[in-house]
Amino acid sequence: MKDFENSFSLNVNNHKVSYTDEGKYGAPVIIFIHGFPFNMSMWNPQIESLSNYCRVITYDIRGFGNSDAGNEEFTIELFAKDLISLMDALKIDITILCGLSMGGYIALNAIENYAGRFSALILSDTSCKADTSEAKEKRIKAIENIKNTGVEKYADESIKNLFASESFTGRSDEISAVRAMIVKTRVQSLCNGLIALSMRKETSSILKEIKVPVLILVGNEDKITPPSEAKFIHEKIKNSFLKVLEHAGHLSNMENSEEFNYQLTKFVELVYPQSILPVQIEPD
């Protein structure tokens, strides 16, 4: 996967966070939060497309990619707090937020607790429900499997559920990239991440409080957070738009990046109609 020029790291909330900052200074900011157990490189197709008219930030959640894990227990609340600390450090008062799956759980937690910091939300392939007891058991089993049979096997098992059937023939680069992201993730982060996911609170009850525009995207073959979850969110958020993407499973931004980016662009133009105008020149 392409390495972007503007990759940086800084210390926030007691850990080193790795991030990219691309695009136009002074343009609307959009921050992307990756899913589990991936890293910021999953957003490369969006950086390429959106940095022409937005300032695009991607970052590695603590413990993933090149960000340090820190010493605190992983929780979705902590990840949302890290996001706000990153925004503070980068002096970003308000942003559009886009999260996929776990990134969506974090985005929903962030809008619940720090509503004034977000001008719009994109929820991709995600859910507002907590884990059922069966899902929690599966997470515990996954932790045991990772410890007993290793990360490579875990990655191979995960891949089966992540992609649409047609991606297995047509998207081999994306599949290899995602497999590499999973295998690269530290065992401790995989296990602590699975616990954080299983302990997350539901956010269905706060959806009606969301006042900013929301775009909900989901792959039509998403087996992990299927279109029914997206429809449920859409029905509860008044100011929301739903688009089910063809040719995509759970990783719709990678499997059908063209349509994903088109929907994102249309949405950003709706939220910031001025964003296609020339933007400020970066100061020296």
Q: Which residues form the interface with ligand MLT (CB under 6 A)?
A: 35-36, 101-102, 197, 224
Which residue lies nearer to ligand MLT by CB, 102 or 190? 102
Which residue lies nearer to ligand MLT by CB, 33 or 86? 33
* DSSP-derived 3-state class of residue 12: strand
Which residue lies nearer to ligand MLT by CB, 54 or 80? 80
Q: How far is the CB of 35 from ligand MLT (least distance, A)?
A: 3
Q: How far is the CB of 265 from ligand MLT (least distance, A)?
A: 23
Q: How far is the CB of 224 from ligand MLT (least distance, A)?
A: 5
Q: How far is the CB of 38 from ligand MLT (least distance, A)?
A: 7
Which residue lies nearer to ligand MLT by CB, 107 or 268? 107
Joined tokens for residue 78: 């902590």
Q: How far is the CB of 128 from ligand MLT (least distance, A)?
A: 12
Residue 191, classified by CB atoms within 10 Å of its CB into exposed (0-12), middle (13-18) or buried (19+), is middle
Task: Give CA–CA dist 214/273, Å, rounded.
Answer: 16
Task: Give CA–CA dist 47/30, Å, rounded.
Answer: 10
Which residue lies nearer to ligand MLT by CB, 46 or 101? 101
Q: What are phi and psi of 242, to 5 degrees?
A: -120, 135
Task: Give CA–CA dist 221/211, Å, rounded.
Answer: 29
Q: How far is the CB of 100 from ligand MLT (least distance, A)?
A: 7
**What are the residues whose beta carbons fall under 8 Å from the beta carbon of 145, sequence distance 6 or more?**
153, 154, 157
Which residue lies nearer to ligand MLT by CB, 4 or 163? 163
Task: Give CA–CA dist 107/34, Å, rounded.
Answer: 10
**What are the residues whose beta carbons fall under 8 Å from the beta carbon of 41, sequence distance 6 or more?**
1, 58, 65, 177, 181
